[in-house]
Structure 1
């Protein structure tokens, strides 16, 4: 599945389709720690776990954050107190490295993505990606949003820490440019407690923006991946979650990321869950045919009925199986005459009546 296919199909789950399998983005971010070997490993392991895409982040600390930029993450897990200091440690990959990673992704069979955080990176990433991702942190950054819309490609916008009016405003900017759009519910806590995942915002976004694709960018601890399962059942068509090759590594995004085993577990769970849901239609299942025939009831003679007698209500009861005239037809049966003698406890057939 290619990400552009999500935009060409209906944005929400349809009644006939039911819950659709989500497009999964493994958010490697800068968990490569500046090593191309680790970056390639992340690509390979995301592919092995069943991700459709792997996404990195492209930035320079000097254009992303001022030197007076306090942390907004859990500093017991990532003790760095300054955004500028943290980003300086992880901003070594640039155009050449991402071109090499794009080639590796193509060889591995996984879609390459990277979130640009400045104009220069947005420009050179254009040749490598079919879809642009805009971070929650830029949801109010009108000039940057409009700049990325200028490439004419679909946009994925995360909505972390945003009020509805801020999301609606950003949507208006993008719609004015004509770009296909996906909105990802997101909570900007690193990590996000499960009780703060606020997954109800997924159907709320679907209600407010039915014309666009809706998804979820997750920052909860992976644990058993239940948060992503629930997000899928609530209609998220795109799932994004931080990804690492080693969850025990200190700092950065490793501590709240999934690994290839978590991802494989989630995909295996979807294999079991999605058939349980089935299409959003109502009809008896083929597997229920024996029950329809044997657990439902037929009209039955409550007492002997003589040939020629007019059938009355007292002549009838209803019992299993449903091999004869259905009780729904009782009004059509009453007043008819018996064609021949009908013994007590006979399952009534239309051939018994004239």
Structure 2
């Protein structure tokens, strides 16, 4: 069963980017978060996704960085997360209510058990971080909430994904979406491996498949468009209002203009895709009649002559007898004189 009726379903990962926007705009963190939600809604995003965590429960104090230090110089995971763990239950509840007012879906990825519990009060779908794919006790706890789950699979093997899916299905019958992702920030284009989307479609045919992107947005949004064309019906990408801001998630995020480009691509792609089953179209009617060939007299044929292959050729238009029926013509007798270059008709033969 599908989790989302619309496809592609576009999720803008605001994450903690609103804290930096607040500093830039000299407004409160909540005002910045709501500003980003509003801009996401205006440009055509279907859902916004935040991160719910506390540094003390997420990373040990000696956890090293795994991101591009030239873009985000903080060398400790703990120190970076500590800068952005200001929001909790009441702040995210307020954001969830604001999203309902705007008719845009609210999501937040939980990174601890407490976050799971409070998000369950006002969130309908649980995203699961790639970093928690093998955190089996945590996945089992989320599944116990009996809500659909978006399982992101960066850095995962097929067997690890299967184990996570089995863990969920052992305790719940919720719908599961499996999201291809590459846990490299940013992801080089050569490492995007969008063909893995097709592998997931083949390996998990009964599940909705998506893609979470960490490449730097290309001008034409080919990465996301290709992912969708390959079968990723759920598209996730970090979202910002200013790619030039320092930090780990602005420089490889999409902005409102990127969303508009992607939506335009999808609209054009939907025109191109059309029907799946091969069949002639109305627009091809003229070509079928006039550009195909018919059986034509290659010489003058006298009344009473028996038709042989050497008397015939095949020319346009296709309004006469199709060459596919040549065997139905050879051996027949001409009922009248047939001039050279005449389209043969069965009424001329017996």
Q: TM (normalized to structure 2)? A: 0.94
CA–CA distance in structure 2, aligned partners of residues 287 and 176 of structure 1:
52
Q: 2:242, 2:255 within 8 Å by CA — same for their partners in 1? A: yes
- Structure-1 residue corresponding to 2:183: 188
1:29 is aligned to 2:23? no
Aligned to 1:346: 342
Inter-CA distance 259–8: structure 2 relative to 1 (3 Å threshold): closer
Q: What do the CA deviations read for 1:150-191 (whole angstroms, capped 9, x no partner)?
A: 111111111111122211211221222322111111111111
- The question of whether the paired residues in 1 share the 8 Å contact of 2:2 and 2:175 is answered with no
Check if 1:109 corresponds to 2:85: no
- Tell me if the contact between 1:7 and 1:154 (Cα under 8 Å) persists in the aligned partners: yes
Cross-structure match for 1:98:
92
What residue is the counterpart of 2:241 in the other structure? 245
Q: Secondary structure at the residue paired with 2:114? A: helix
- Indicate the residue corresponding to 1:308 in structure 2: 304
CA distance in structure 2 between the aligned counterparts of 1:252 and 1:316, rounded to whole angstroms = 74
- The whole-number CA distance in structure 2 between the counterparts of 1:51 and 1:221 is 18
1:197 aligns to 2:183 (yes or no): no
**Equivalence for 1:216:** 211
Determine if contact 2:67/2:248 at 8 Å carries over to the other structure: no
* Superposition pairs of residues 162-181 of structure 1, within 5 angstroms: 162-177=156-171, 178-181=173-176
The 1-side partners of 2:278 and 2:7 are apart by: 21
Show the counterpart of 1:14: none
**8 Å contact from structure 1 (residues 24, 239) kept in 2:** yes
Match of 1:131 among 125, 129, 139: 125
SS in 2 for 1:189: coil
Displacement of 1:8: 7.2
CA shift, 1:193, in A, is 0.7
Q: Is the 8 A contact 1:40 1:101 kept in 2?
A: yes
Give matches, 1:224-239, under 5 Å. Answer: 224=219, 225-239=221-235
The RMSD of aligned alpha carbons is 1.5
Partners of 1:257 and 1:38 in 2: CA distance: 17
Q: Deviations over 1:83-118 (max 9, x none)?
A: 111111111111111111112111212111111111
Out of 313, 330, 334, the position equivalent to 1:334 is 330
Q: How many residues align?
A: 340
Q: How many Å separate the matches in 1 of 2:164 and 2:261? A: 35
Structure 1 alignment gaps of length 5 or more: 10-19
Which residue of the other structure, out of 77, 87, 112, is the alignment partner of 2:71? 77
CA distance in 2 between counterparts of 1:208 and 1:123 reads 32
Q: Contact 1:68 / 1:84 at 8 angstroms: preserved in 2?
A: yes
Deviates most, 275-284 or 77-86: 275-284
Question: What secondary structure is seen at the aligned counterpart in 1 of 2:257?
Answer: helix
| Partner residue in 2 for 1:15 | none
In structure 2, C-alpha distance between the alignment counterparts of 1:89 and 1:202, rounded to whole Å: 34
CA distance in 1, matches of 2:226, 2:137: 35
SS at match of 1:255: coil
